[in-house]
Amino acid sequence: MVPRKLALTPALVAHVHRVVEDPGPDPHLVYHNEEDYDAVVRGLLSFHISGHDLWLFAYGSLIWKPEVDFVEERMGTARGSHRSFRLKINRWRATKDQPGLMMVLDRGGQCRGVLYRISAATVEENLGKLVRREMSVKPASNTPRWITVQTDQGPVQALAFVIDRNGRTYSGKLSPEETADMLSKACGHWGSCAEYLHNTIVHLAERGIHDQNLWRLQELVAERIARAREYWVAGSNDLSQQTANGDR
């Protein structure tokens, strides 16, 4: 359960939503093909002991949309990394006219998240699904890496998607206000960035995780959406009044 009342309510999130058609791949970019994905999987498997289960560390949307078949869920903390909105997007949950941000694992601090244990028998299949979901454009900015995650049962080696600070879509450090400005407006054919933020906070809270930075961010996003809503309503009322006066 969410420990306290969210300022970013479903009603406010709904105000950001709009129907957007998928613009499709950008002709100016190069995308991974099936051979590329298979090569990534082979590379990951070369650092994984054959016949052993694999741990996947989830810190954002993989928590509420795992995309993989797992046999165990465990809480864990990745020290030396933190979750943050620093991946620039202009598709999926944004558009070129209104860019957005997605969450990444970046250097510094620590991150409490969820570990999924994938059975050895399905490791290759699930890795294939993961890289196809998380990686699209070449070279990728959000890349799979092996990290150490601390759990109550001891440390485990886990796979996590970590931002490359030299990547083309890395935003660099933004202020909470700058981040909130983008998250409060961006929406694409997958939904809005505000929805992504709301879903992440709610599903973290269900597992007893309170991310102070995300909590402050949702307050800022809620303020901006509410302000935009008030402005829109006021403008509509003025227009209605002008129309009514004109009909007299």
**Which residues are known catalytic residues?**
134
Tokens of 2: 């969410």
CA dihedral 83, 86, 87, 88 (to 10 degrees): 150
* Burial class (CB within 10 angstroms; exposed 0-12, middle 13-18, buried 19+) of 62: buried
Residues whose CB is less than 8 angstroms from the CB of residue 157 and which lie 6 or more positions away in sequence, other chains included: 55, 146, 147, 148, 149
- Tell me the C-alpha distance between 143 and 133, whole Å: 12
- Tell me the C-alpha distance between 52 and 72, whole Å: 14
Q: Verify cis geometry, omega within 30 degrees of 0, for the bond prior to 176.
A: no
